[in-house]
Amino acid sequence: MTPEGFTTGRFDHDGTGIAYDIGGSGPPLLLLHGFPQTRALWWKVAPHLAESHTVVMADLRGYGASDKPDDPALYSFRHMGGDMLALMTHLGFDRFAVAGHDRGGRTAHRVALDAPARITRLALLDIVPTEMILNQLSHPVARAYYHWFFLAQPAPFPETLIGADPDYYFESCLLGWGAAQLTDFAPDQLAAYRESWRDPAAIRAMCHDYRAAIDLDLPLDEADLGRRVSAPTLIGWGRDGAMGRAYDVAGTWADRIEQITPAPLPGGHFMIDSHPEEVTKALGDFFA
């Protein structure tokens, strides 16, 4: 269900089809979802942001209605970011703002490093740096974010276990990272998530995403430790989520981003679903 005023499109980038919705008018703003969701994450937020921006919501490769290539090497955040750069070029936007949650935030961070001249402003929601997660892992974070290492196991181990009951597994993810219950998720959005994650190709693709994080993204981020994002950046996090409990989230980015606006938000990791009004206000104020 595309929000009123938005139209759905599809863009082919080097043989990978990317599904997106676009609506509104004004400066371009790209919204990126995370695991295990789709662009439906933004359905309650995007119409309000579209009052002052041209809003693009896209499914990352491997998720939702976008294509799902069967090769872990094609799921780095650089590949995902390349899709988004090409999409925004296709739509006529040379420079744009971007907000990303979870994997979408990691993709947005990579885009800001790889194509800094194209990013006007950046918002990263409920993530700490990938390199820090993997190289400075604490016991509480390992217990909460065990899925990073479960999903990265060789195929078909995680795919087989998840495939036995996708709703059970992925709903455990929605509820497992702090301050969430199933009623926090709007029925139409939850139905969109379920439709996506019940697809065996999507299960496989999400595993590839996490395999690539360890094998490809970690070395890329280690190589970029001396670089800082120049675009003004909002760092948001759920005050009751696993990241908010384990880290000074804004502080984890202090040596990686030049200009940071901290934004503690109500709820846990999935605060966009559970508290869309507060997230909309934070993003609207920042991107204004």
**Per-residue DSSP letter, 154:** P
Q: Which of 101, 208, 269, 275 is catalytic?
A: 269
147 a catalytic residue? no
For residues 36 and 206, is the Cβ–Cβ distance under 8 A? yes
Per-residue buried b or exposed e for 161-192, using 16+ beta carbons within 10 Å of the residue's own CB = ebeeebeebbbebbbebbbbeeebbeeebbeb
Question: Would you tell me the crossing angle of helices 103-114 and 77-90 to the nearest 10 degrees?
Answer: 70
Residue of 21, 67, 83, 102 marked active site: 102
Identify whether the C-beta of residue 84 lies closer than 8 Å to the C-beta of residue 100. no
Active site residue 269: yes
Q: Using an 8 Å Cβ cutoff, are 11 and 87 in contact?
A: yes
Catalytic residues: 102, 269
